[in-house]
Amino acid sequence: MNEPNAATFQLPEQMSTVAPEIDWLYYFIYWLSVVLFVAIVGAMIYFAIKYRERKGHKAEPTGHNLPLEIAWTVAPVFILVFLFHKGFEGYMNLSIAPANSMEIRVNAKQWSWEFVYPNGASSDKLHVPVHKPIKLVMASADVIHSFYAPALRVKRDVVPGMYTTVWFEATHVGKDDIACAEYCGGRSEGPNGTLPYQPSDDPDNPYPPGQMTGHWAMHSMVYVEAQEDFDKFMKSIGDPCESYASQGKACPGTIAAAQGLKLYSTKGCVACHTTTGAKLVGPSWKGIWAHGETTDKGRIVVDENYVRESILDPQAKVVAGYPPTMPTFRGQISDAEIDEIIALIKSLKDEGPAPAQQ
Amino acid sequence: MAAVDIPISGAHAADTHDDPDASYLKAGRGIGSWLTTLDHKRIGLMYLTMVCLAFFTGGIFALLIRLELFSRGRTIMDAETYNRFFTLHGAIMVFLFIIPSVPAALGNFFLPIMIGAKDVAFPRLNLFSYYIYLLGAAVALLSIIMGSVDTGWTFYTPYSVQTQNSVISMTLGAFILGFSSILTGLNFLVTVHTMRAPGCTWSRMPLFVWGMYATALIQVLATPVLAITLLLLCAERFFGIGIFDPKLGGDPVLFQHFFWFYSHPAVYIMIVPGMAITSELIATFSRRAIFGQFAIAMSSISLAVLGFLVWGHHLFAAGMSEYATMLFSALTFLVAIPSGVKVFNWTATIYKGSILWASPMLYAMAFIFLFTIGGLTGLFLGTLNVDIHLTDTYFVVAHFHYVMMGGTVIAFVGGLLYWWPKMTGKMHDEVKAKIGFVFVFVGFNTVFIPQFIMGSRGMPRRYYDYLPQYEIFHRISTVGSWILGTGLLITGYTLLEALWRGKRAPRNPWGSAGYEWMTDTPPCLANFHKTPVFTRGPYDYHLATPEELATGWDEVEQDGKKG
């Protein structure tokens, strides 16, 4: 393999747009370290041999060399500032997903991954189209997990009780392992863990189900596909739009948003919030998504975590101009239902059309 | 030496009826005289016994973990057992071995001697802290009987709240051990401030003492935070108070902030003493004052201060605001400066010295070798976007083992070999010690270099099983663990053999100018026969008299005065 994105001895294949700059920095630090290490340890060993104790040799009393001491205190600062700067710059690229990203929901639990696509269908292996920014919005049902795809060079903890996000854009068709990088327990299967475990030779399914469950076996794959293959895959896992079509109904923008619209009535949100932009007791949901708002605790941006917090702990950050009167829904609404409310509010973005009323 | 004895602390001299001029090993006989002793040297030795036992136990777990990872699938144990063993390895090594290792054992023994004091400021508190340590260790190890902990030594919530295992006894054990650590630190701080002998000014104070002082500062200031965190965790499990568990409205990441607010400074509780020993070894075996002595002392203090400001770098992938992440990355890089200053100064000390290639010096040079790798690999992890790829992989495992084991443990073993004659009055066999060193050094690198490579290739940590492409690295690493274990066994045997077969040690077998070598071997109960007055620094080889640096027997002893 001589392609520029092939695996090297130290690093896996490069499959994402951010990988080259991360790897460049990795190898920069590596060679910097090699030079410093050889200089320091080489000097130490050379001196220790050259000035070894022997007849007629005496240690020279230690003097002072202030310029030297200042030099080796100050010189590293320049290198460190450079590394900090490059690292932070790269980190910001990793943090801010492009606005045109395709959103995929990731549900992690002990010990499996579930990927929910915009059309509401889901799979246990992640399929993504090539050359398209993908934003994963992740939540955990139990303990902390961490989404790690080595060749994509992304990793982000998946924390229960909040949403975390990670984004990437794959540069070519291929596949990568998905691993859990935060310890989350595990056990051997069978009575008293006695079931003999045979590692599988299928690289895509290294842990046969029923034999092994745990942190290490929370393995999945990401398949990067050409757009038409991705569309085919979407169809194969059952595009819920087709079931709407078969009933002669219009397909809603997203299934989750349509569910959210039902909750909007049944949970009573409708009493204080509109979906049209009109003000009631609370702010309208129309056009509020991804908007900066002033609250009694300062500026915020309406995102997954803010909506979740406002449902479970409404007085935490109240949008300016509205009374702090909303009751908490803690214990009355499930995580899945919160997801659907979020999907509804997302669908009410200024530019997007509202889901069809049913 | 003149027989006039001017007590400087008087604290324990008044409590014993023993002859202050007799060897501390002979002052009082029987197990009872050890268990109730207020002598810092005996307490140091009792600590040493326990921490070595803890190291042995933690090492056994390490070997078993490595053996399990030799092959894919089940090798020797099931998954639950593996999860418990790596937790026990971490918890025992951190809480029972490495934190108390240098301060409580070697520090207890040598800090008072190196400042010319008779004992620490609060000898009773010192003994008390030892029994607290024993109690904490017992409570922590009780968890093994009660089903054992499987959370990792970091006890991350909400897993540690939800798991069925006996998290409480392990956390309570760590909570109790914290008090032992705090009391030792407090004792050292007061001792250094109030009990230095005439002539032992701050600028002459040995670098080992400076290191212990910096460590004590961290122990006193940081450990209470761990205590609070672990208590909150217990309250969470017992009463469900909802601080960390998201099901009850808590924030699991808050636990990580609390935990690392202690545990990152604790990294410096572990490494600063190792650096302190290395400074002593480099000076003695180069026959030369430490280059930039003041800079080394100050770098210990600045590591202690910086250590409090960088805990967030454990959470780069966990979810913090971009501003917090930026700040923690910047502060983390600052740690490289005092660390670099130390390494540069040690190398400059060897330059134009007269280097004796004795076994402790081999360990000191291995410390520089391994700590430099540990420190430089820290640069990868401080660089934000590179850290995202590497964090929670074997790269991190290798990095902190190069610092903790390649740093602190290597320095600890070097310190043991260096001070063994002074502590026990017996010389060890240098040939065996050097053979042991070769095994330790080769074995250590064989264990951990493959771990860097598999980590950067994407192998996450705390995995019972792994993908086929990592098997070769795991195999090399496991073979390395056998070499390393053999080396440590040889070294342990060398030290124990000295006790019954070793030649009697003279006062100053290494020809050091350090203060602790100016008194008897082994030291008398009061450390010095009369209060010493230091007229030169502990590294002033050009000012030391030939008698002070002589490696043979003192004339007074040849006269038979010591009988």
Distance from CA of A302 to the nearest CA of B (A): 15
The CATH superfamily holding the domain A247-347 is Cytochrome c-like domain (1.10.760.10)
pLDDT at B474: 96
Number of helices and strands in chain A (H, E): 7, 14
Q: If you write DSSP's letter for every residue of A98-118 in order, what string do you get?
A: -TTPEEEEEEEETTEEEEE-T
Q: What is the mean pLDDT of residues B9-18?
A: 45
Q: What is the mean pLDDT of residues B193-197?
A: 95
pLDDT at B121: 95
Question: Widest CA span of chain B, in angstroms?
Answer: 77
Q: A41 and B368 in contact by Cβ < 8 A?
A: yes
| Percent of chain A scoring above 70 in pLDDT | 89
Rg (C-alpha) for chain A, rounded Å, is 27
Is A3 a residue whose pLDDT tops 90?
A: no
Q: Which residue of B has its CA nearest to A160?
A: B246
pLDDT at A350: 66
| Domain A19-95, architecture per CATH | Orthogonal Bundle (1.10)
Phi-psi region of B471 (alpha: psi -120 to 50; beta: other; left: phi over 0): alpha
d(CA B227, CA B188): 20
pLDDT at A129: 96
Distance from CA of B463 to the nearest CA of A (A): 5
Rg (C-alpha) for chain B, rounded Å, is 23
pLDDT at B18: 56
Does residue A320 contact residue A236 with C-beta atoms inside 8 Å? no
- B343, B465, B468 ranked by CB distance to A212: nearest: B465
Interface test with B, best of A13, A25, A30, A62 (most B CBs within 10 A): A62
Q: Greater confidence, B440 or B246?
A: B440
Q: B369 and A44 in contact by Cβ < 8 A?
A: yes
CB < 8 Å & 24+ apart, contacts of A339-342: A339/A105, A339/A139, A339/A256, A340/A256, A340/A257, A340/A259, A340/A260, A340/A263, A341/A260, A341/A263, A341/A264, A341/A269, A341/A307, A341/A311, A342/A260, A342/A304, A342/A307, A342/A308
Q: Which residue of A has its CA nearest to B465?
A: A216
Question: Widest CA span of chain A, in angstroms?
Answer: 103
Q: Greater confidence, B561 or A200?
A: A200
Residue A105's DSSP bridge partners are A116, A137
pLDDT band at A242 (very low <50, low <70, confident <90, very high): low
Q: A92 and B462 in contact by Cβ < 8 A?
A: no
Could you tell me how many CB contacts below 8 A there are between chain A and chain B? Answer: 289
pLDDT at B166: 75
pLDDT at A197: 67
pLDDT at A176: 95
Q: Greater confidence, B246 or B500?
A: B500
Distance from CA of B351 to the nearest CA of A (A): 5
Number of helices and strands in chain B (H, E): 21, 0
Q: Which two tokens stand for residue A44?
A: 């130490």
Amino acid letter, B408: T
Helix (H) or strand (E) holding A175: strand A174-180
Is A99 a residue whose pLDDT tops 70?
A: yes
CATH topology of A102-194+204-239 equal to that of A247-347? no
Q: Which two tokens stand for residue B90?
A: 């971490």
| Percent of chain B scoring above 90 in pLDDT | 71
pLDDT at B14: 42
Contacts of B43 (CB under 8 A, 6+ apart): B37, B108, B126, B127, B130
Does residue A90 contact residue A24 with C-beta atoms inside 8 Å? no
Q: Which residues of A touch B325 (CB under 8 A)?
A: 91
pLDDT band at A250 (very low <50, low <70, confident <90, very high): low
Q: Which two tokens stand for residue A247?
A: 């009933």
pLDDT at B561: 45
pLDDT, chain B, mean: 90
- pLDDT digits 0-9 by tens, B408-454: 999 999 999 999 999 999 999 999 999 999 999 999 999 999 999 99
Q: A183 and B456 in contact by Cβ < 8 A?
A: no
pLDDT at A189: 65
Distance from CA of A240 to the nearest CA of B (A): 31
d(CA B287, CA B384): 43
Q: What are the boundaries of each domain within chain A? A: 19-95, 102-194+204-239, 247-347
Is B32 a residue whose pLDDT tops 70?
A: yes
- B290, B361, B460 ranked by CB distance to A179: nearest: B460
Is B13 a residue whose pLDDT tops 80?
A: no
Q: What is the mean pLDDT of residues B285-297?
A: 92
Q: A37 and B372 in contact by Cβ < 8 A?
A: yes
3-class state of residue A221 by DSSP: strand
Angle at which helix B167-194 crosses helix B123-145, to 10 degrees, equals 160
pLDDT band at A351 (very low <50, low <70, confident <90, very high): low
Q: B156 and A197 in contact by Cβ < 8 A?
A: no
pLDDT band at B556 (very low <50, low <70, confident <90, very high): low
The CATH superfamily holding the domain A102-194+204-239 is Cupredoxins -  blue copper proteins (2.60.40.420)
Q: What is the mean pLDDT of residues A339-348?
A: 85
pLDDT at B3: 37
Q: Which of A64-73, A123-132, A249-258 is modeled with the greatest confidence? A: A123-132
Q: Which residues of A touch B355 (CB under 8 A)?
A: 47-48, 51-53
pLDDT at A341: 87
Query: How many Cβ atoms from other residues are within 10 Å of residue A232's Cβ?
Result: 12
Interface test with A, best of B463, B510, B540, B551 (most A CBs within 10 A): B463
Q: Which residues of B touch A66 (CB under 8 A)?
A: none
Amino acid letter, A276: T
Q: Which residues of B touch A95 (CB under 8 A)?
A: 322
Q: Which two tokens stand for residue A9?
A: 């001895």
ipTM summary value: 0.90
Q: If you write DSSP's letter for every residue of B473-542 in order, what string do you get?
A: HHHHHHHHHHHHHHHHHHHHHHHHHHHHHPPBP-S-TT---SGGGGS-SSPBTTSSSS-----S-TT-TT
pLDDT at B1: 37
d(CA B150, CA B167): 8
- pLDDT digits 0-9 by tens, B461-508: 999 989 999 999 999 999 999 999 999 999 999 999 999 999 999 999
pLDDT band at A191 (very low <50, low <70, confident <90, very high): low
- B357, B368, B376 ranked by CB distance to A52: nearest: B357
pTM exceeds 0.95 for this model: no
Q: B385 and A21 in contact by Cβ < 8 A?
A: yes
Is A190 a residue whose pLDDT tops 50?
A: yes
- B291, B355, B389 ranked by CB distance to A53: nearest: B355
Distance of CA B314 to the CA centre of its chain: 21
pLDDT band at B400 (very low <50, low <70, confident <90, very high): very high
pLDDT band at B563 (very low <50, low <70, confident <90, very high): very low
Does residue B526 contact residue B9 with C-beta atoms inside 8 Å? no
d(CA A289, CA A304): 9
pLDDT at B108: 95
Q: A29 and B352 in contact by Cβ < 8 A?
A: no
- pLDDT digits 0-9 by tens, B341-393: 999 999 999 999 999 999 999 999 999 999 999 999 999 999 999 999 999 99
Q: Which of A38-42, B219-223, B293-297 is modeled with the greatest confidence? A: A38-42
Is A290 a residue whose pLDDT tops 90?
A: no
Q: What is the mean pLDDT of residues A256-282?
A: 84
In terms of DSSP bridges, do strands A212-214 and A186-188 run parallel, antiparallel, or are they unpaired?
A: antiparallel
d(CA A82, CA A91): 14
Q: Which residue of A has its CA nearest to B324?
A: A88
> Dihedral of the CA atoms B120, B124, B130, B133 (nearest 10)?
-110
pLDDT, chain A, mean: 86
Amino acid letter, B293: Q
In terms of DSSP bridges, do strands A220-225 and A112-116 run parallel, antiparallel, or are they unpaired?
A: unpaired
Is A1 a residue whose pLDDT tops 60?
A: no
Distance from CA of B322 to the nearest CA of A (A): 8
Residue B230 to residues A139, B178, B235, B258, B534: CA-CA distances in angstroms? 26, 10, 9, 9, 45
Q: A181 and B393 in contact by Cβ < 8 A?
A: yes
Q: A36 and B461 in contact by Cβ < 8 A?
A: no
